Amino acid sequence: MNDAAPIRRRKTVNMHGISSDRMNDEKTQSQYQPYKEAAWGFINHWYPALFTEELPEQAVEGIQIAGVPILLRRAAGKLYAIKDQCVHRGVRMSAKPMCFNDTSIACWYHGFNFDLETGMLNNIVGNPESKLIGKTGVTTYPVQEVAGMIFVFVREDDFPDEDVPPLAHDLPVRFPENSERFPHPLWPATPSLLDEGAVALGMHRTGQSNWRIACENGFDNAHILVHADNAIVHAMDWVLPLGILPAADDAITLIEDEDGPKGQMQWMFTDRWTPVLENKDLGLKVENLKGRFYRTSVVLPGVLMVENWPEEHVVQYEWYVPITDDMYEYWEVMVRICKTDTDRKKFQYRFDNLYMPLCIRGFNDCDLYAREAMEEFYADGTGWDNEQLVETDISPVTWRKVASRHNRGIAKPGKGVPNATKTSSIRMRRLAQGKAPAYKVEKIENVNSY
C-alpha cells in the first residue's frame, strides 16, 4: 500500500443490542451461536434425497443439499451419489446425463468422465491420454436406501470415510427399545423407518424459507394455534389445545446418547406440560371432544417425529433439508409397519384418501405458509438477534443449544451453485418464465431447442 493512502475501516454491519429481559438474552444467544451461523444447514449428516420411485434403474437426478450439488444415479441395481459439479468448468452433469457404462458418468459438455464409486476422473471423451486423468475427481457421498427412501450422507470434501456414522444416528429414537426411557402409555410402540416391514409414504416439496424457521415450526408447541381451523381437526372432532405450556423443569429431555441420535424429546400429554383449553379474556374455548395424544421430538440434522399421528400405529416424520440459505426441501413422511400386502394396500388407501388431502396437504400446508410468513424477518440475519422469545419457546431454544453442541459441521455458503446468487439474471429469467427456484436440476430435454 502507498504510504500516502488513507487508512480506512472496512464496511461492517452494526451489531444490534440485545435486551436482557428476553428469554433469549445475550448469554443464551451465545450458547447457540453455532446454530445462528448455520444458515446453509449442518453438513456431514444424513439427509433424505429422493423417494426410491423417483430414481428407477438408469435414472440420473441432480439435487442440492446444504449448498452441495449432488448427482444420484442408479445403474445395474446400485445407487451412487457424487458431487454434481464437473471439476473442469463446474457444469451440472445431471442436466443432460451422459453415461457410457454402468460405473461412470461423463460431463455432457467437454466429456470429463468420472468413476461413480471413487469420483476419480478416469477418462476424457476427446482426450483419453490427458495427464489430468487419475489426478483429480469429485467428492462421493455415501448412500443408503430404506423403506422406499434414499438417504445421502452430505459431507465436506475432506470428511473421512471412516468417520461416516450409521444412518440411525441421524434418525429419531426407536421403539420399543426406548419405551422405558420415554414411556407412552397412551399408544402402541411407535414404528421406525428402520423396522422390518416399514413403509414410508409421503411427499417432498420446496419451501421458500430458511430451513431453521421450518424446522422450529414442527415442534413449537405454541404454533398449534394456526391449526385450530384445519379441516382434519374438525372432521375428527379433535381436542387441539390453544397452547401447551411447560409446567416442569423436565418438560424436555435431551437425547445425547454416545452411539445414537442427538436431540430432544418433549413430554407432552404428561403433567410436565399443561394444555391451555380456554382464554376467558378473549372469549376462547376449545369445545371438541376427542383427545389426540401425540408427542414431538427432534434430532439432528433436523428430523421431526410426531408419534401417534395422525392415527394409532402411524408416525409422521418430517425433514427440512436445507437447499440454500433461503430454501429448504420439506419432507412429510408417514410410516407404518405393513407385514402383508393387504396391510400395505390398506395403508396406501388411507394415505391417498385421508392423510394426503387432509394432513399432508391441509394441516401441513398451513405450516408452510406460516413459516414463509416469518422468512423476511430472518432473511437478512437481524431476526435472529431481534426476535423476542417467551416461555413456550423453551422448545426452539433447547433445540438450538443441542444442535449447536452436536452438529458435525456448519455448511459454508454454497460455491458456484444455483441460487447462491439471489439476483443473477439467470435466476430472474427463470422466475419470469414461471419457474420457482427448485430442489431438482432441470433437465435439458430437447437438444435442438433453446
Binding site for other proteins (CB under 8 A): 1, 5, 7-10, 12, 30-31, 33-34, 44, 155-156, 158-160, 163, 256, 401, 404-406, 409-410
Which residue lies nearer to other proteins by CB, 233 or 410?
A: 410
Q: CA triplet 177, 178, 183: central angle to 5 degrees?
A: 130
Residue 406 CB, nearest distance to other proteins (Å)? 7
Residue 314 CB, nearest distance to other proteins (Å)? 34
425: left (phi over 0), alpha (psi -120 to 50) or beta: alpha
Residue 26 CB, nearest distance to other proteins (Å)? 11
Which residue lies nearer to other proteins by CB, 9 or 339?
A: 9
Cell (9 digits) for 278: 380456554
φ/ψ (deg, to 5) at 72: -115, 140
Measured distance CA(234)–CA(287) in Å, rounded:
10
Residue 50 CB, nearest distance to other proteins (Å)? 25
Cell (9 digits) for 213: 424457521
Residue indicated by cell numbers 476422473 = 121
Which amino acid belongs to residue 223? H
Measured distance CA(262)–CA(315) in Å, rounded:
19
Query: Across-strand partners of 360?
Result: none
Which residue lies nearer to other proteins by CB, 3 or 53?
A: 3
Which residue lies nearer to other proteins by CB, 7 or 289?
A: 7
Residue 379 CB, nearest distance to other proteins (Å)? 23
* Length of the chain measured in residues: 450
Burial grade of 286 (CB within 10 A; 0-12, 13-18, 19 or more): middle
Measured distance CA(428)–CA(430) in Å, rounded:
5
Residue 303 CB, nearest distance to other proteins (Å)? 19
Which residue lies nearer to other proteins by CB, 1 or 289?
A: 1
Measured distance CA(204)–CA(368) in Å, rounded:
12
Q: How far is CA 309 from the centre of its chain?
A: 19
Residue 410 CB, nearest distance to other proteins (Å)? 7
Residues 6 or more apart whose Cβ sits within 8 Å of residue 258: none
Which residue lies nearer to other proteins by CB, 296 or 404?
A: 404
Which residue lies nearer to other proteins by CB, 361 or 401?
A: 401
Which residue lies nearer to other proteins by CB, 204 or 262?
A: 262
Residue 382 CB, nearest distance to other proteins (Å)? 19
